[in-house]
Amino acid sequence: MHHIYQTEGFVIGGTNAGEANRYLKIFTRDFGMISGSAQGIRHLKSKLRYSLQDFSYSSVSLVKGKDLWRVVNAEKKENLWELFRKDKKRLEIFARSLSLLKRFLHGEEKNEALFRIFSSSCFFLANSQALSSEELRNFEYILVLRILHHLGYLKELSELKSFSETEEWGGSILSRIEEYKALALQEINRSLKESQL
């Protein structure tokens, strides 16, 4: 009898396999970035089909295999592509941040703090309709700083600590970073370059 693990995760994307299967990359709360297979998902009658679309946030049931996980059940909590598809800028920010996670997270390693930061950021982005172009750009700077900080790639600069070491999105944080924008961008580029990933 295989043990079934329950967790939540963001479906980053995948590749088709065989007649109707799909291999997926899922950033999960309990296991970090995993590779999983979903059998028969591309059949129109598949129950998993709509719960495991790219950019979905879903509750997933997993069985641990030798080389990869098997997704045996899933329930969609939110389809973020649907939420963002009418706003190209938000969709691009979300897609780039998922791509960043995919680039940096190799091998399964639980990082609940990073998962919490990423998920709360996504839902802040989805629920804050009145953000200007500048605020959206500043949001992305702060999110990337937080991701890099939690992965250990960010230098401890006192000017950026109040942005990278908090989970809060309220108040004036999106306008406060304006003063440190050049430094933030410089530090992001340095971290990405030095990571060699």
Query: What pLDDT does 133 receive?
Result: 92
pLDDT in tens, 60-102: 999 998 888 999 999 999 988 888 888 889 999 999 999 999 9
CA distances from 142 to 117, 151, 155, 185 (A): 11, 14, 14, 10
Task: Taking each helix axis as running N to C, give the angle between helix 88-104 and helix 133-150, from 0 to 180 degrees, rounded to the nearest 10.
Answer: 10
Rg of the chain over all Cα atoms, to the nearest angstrom: 18
Q: Is the pLDDT of residue 107 over 80?
A: no
pTM for the complete prediction? Answer: 0.90
Q: Which residue, among 46, 3, 15, 10, has the nearest Cα to 28 in the 3D structure?
A: 10
pLDDT in tens, 124-170: 998 888 889 999 999 999 999 999 999 999 988 899 999 999 998 97
Query: What pLDDT does 1 receive?
Result: 65
CA distances from 36 to 11, 58, 98, 121 (A): 10, 14, 17, 25
Percent of the chain with pLDDT over 70: 99
Q: What is the mean pLDDT of the chain?
A: 91
Query: What pLDDT does 177 receive?
Result: 95
d(CA 76, CA 50): 7
Query: What pLDDT does 196 receive?
Result: 73
| 114-140 as b/e: b if 16+ CB within 10 A | bbebbbebbeebbeeeebeeebbbbbb
Domains of the chain and CATH, by start: 4-80 (2.40.50.140), 85-195 (no CATH)
d(CA 52, CA 139): 27
